[in-house]
Amino acid sequence: MKTSIKKAILPAAGLGTRFLPATKASPKEMLPIVDKPLIQYAVEESIACGIEDFIIITGKYKRAIEDHFDTAYRLEEKLRTSGKEKILAELNKLNHINLAYIRQRTPLGLGHAILCAKPFVKDEPFAVILSDDVIDPEYPLLKEMIKIYEKKKCPVIALEEVPLSEVHRYGIIDGKSDGNVYKINNLIEKPKPEKSPSNLAIIGRYILTPEIFGILEKQEAGAGGEIQLTDALRRLLKKAPIYGYLIEGRKRYDAGDKLGYLEATVDFALKNKELSEDFKNYLIEKIKPLI
C-alpha cells in the first residue's frame, strides 16, 4: 500500500501514574489487551496504512518495549522444535518494520517527546500515535486521516465527543464541521467545562507536518508544567489550517486509565475467536445476579 505518510512517532516515555503500581518498573505501553501489548496494536494499525518506519520515544524503565520488537532466539528455537509454528509466525510477523528508539531523558510532556524525533523525521509529514489510546482495529481512523491529509496537505488530528464533565482531561477544539471533518479555529488544553469551546476532544492520532518542530523548540511549559502539543498546534494554526476528523461510536479506549483498559479488554476478548464464546458465557453468569 502506498502512502504519503511513511513514518510514525510513538511517544512512550510518559510515567503512567494513573496505572501505578503496574507501571512503576514496566512500561504502560506493554500492558496487554488480551494477548498483545498496547504498543503492538498501535504498530499494527500503522502498518495497515502502509507505514513501516517507527520512531519510539522511550524513557526510564521502558526497555521491555525494545525487547518486545527484537528477536527472541531461545524462545523461537523452542517454539520451532516443539512444532509451534503458528505462534512462531505470529511472533515474526512484524520483523519487516524499521524501528528507531530515542530516549526522552526527562518526561517534559508530549510536545517535548515529539520534538525528540526531529533529527529523524527531517522534512516529511508523519503520524503520531499514542498507544494508550486504543482504536478498534476494524475502524480505519488513521487511513481516513491520511486521506484528508493527502487532500489538504495540512495537519489532521483525531477528535472524539466527550461529556462536558470530562473536557478538563483533554485538549479541546473549536471548529466548523463538514460531515466528520472539522476546520479548526482554536485549541485549548484541559479547559474548565464552563470555559470549554466544545466537547470535541483531541485523541491520540495525529498527522503532523515538520513545521511543528520549530514551534515546539520555542514552546514554554503549559498545563501541568509540560510542553503541550496542543499549545504548539494553536500557534501553528496562526500559520496554516489544521483539520480534525471526528470518530463516531465507541471506537476509542483510554487504556492508560483503569476503567478504559478494562472496557477495551472486555470488548477485545468478546471479539477474539478463541475466547469469545466462553468469555461471553462467563460474563452472563457473572452479571445475572446483579440485574
Q: Give contact residues for ligand UTP (rule: CB under 6 A).
A: 11-19, 28, 57, 104, 107-110, 112-113, 130-132, 256
Q: How far apart, in whole angstroms, are the C-alpha atoms of residue 259 and residue 269?
A: 15
Closest contact distance (angstroms) between CB of 106 and ligand UTP is 7
Return the number of the residue (12 or 145) whose C-beta is nearest ligand UTP.
Answer: 12
- Report in angstroms how near the CB of residue 1 gets to ligand UTP at its nearest: 25
Query: What is the C-alpha to C-alpha distance for residues 148 and 129, in angstroms, rounded to an integer?
Result: 17
Q: Which residue is nearest to ligand UTP (CB)?
A: 14
Instruction: Tell me the β-bridge partners of 288.
Output: none
The residues pairing with 189 across neighbouring beta strands, listed in sequence order, are: 171
Judged by beta carbon, residue 57 or residue 156, the one nearer ligand UTP is 57
Closer to ligand UTP by Cβ: residue 95 or 106: 106
How far from 77 is each of 86, 117, 152, CA to CA, in Å? Answer: 13, 35, 49
With 0-12 / 13-18 / 19 or more C-beta atoms within 10 angstroms meaning exposed / middle / buried, residue 89 is: exposed
Q: Which is nearer to ligand UTP, 79 or 231 (CB)?
A: 231
CB 177 within 8 A of CB 266: no
Quote the least distance from Cβ 76 to ligand UTP, whole Å. Answer: 29
**Residue 29: CB minimum distance to ligand UTP, A:** 7
Query: Is the distance from CB of 10 to CB of 142 less than 8 angstroms?
Result: no
Give every CB contact of residue 105 below 8 A, 6+ residues apart in sequence. Answer: 59
Q: How far is it, in rounded angstroms, from Cα 70 to Cα 226?
A: 31
- Toward ligand UTP, which CB reaches closer, 28 or 252? 28
Given the complex with ligand UTP, which of 107 and 279 has the nearer CB atom? 107
Provide DSSP, 161-175: E--GGGGGGSEEEEE
**From the CB of 80, what's the least distance to ligand UTP, in Å?**
34
Q: How far is the CB of 240 from ligand UTP (least distance, A)?
A: 23
Least separation in angstroms between residue 17's CB and ligand UTP is: 3
Q: Which residues pair with 183 in a beta bridge?
A: 176, 243
Considering beta carbons, is residue 28 or 234 the nearer one to ligand UTP?
Answer: 28
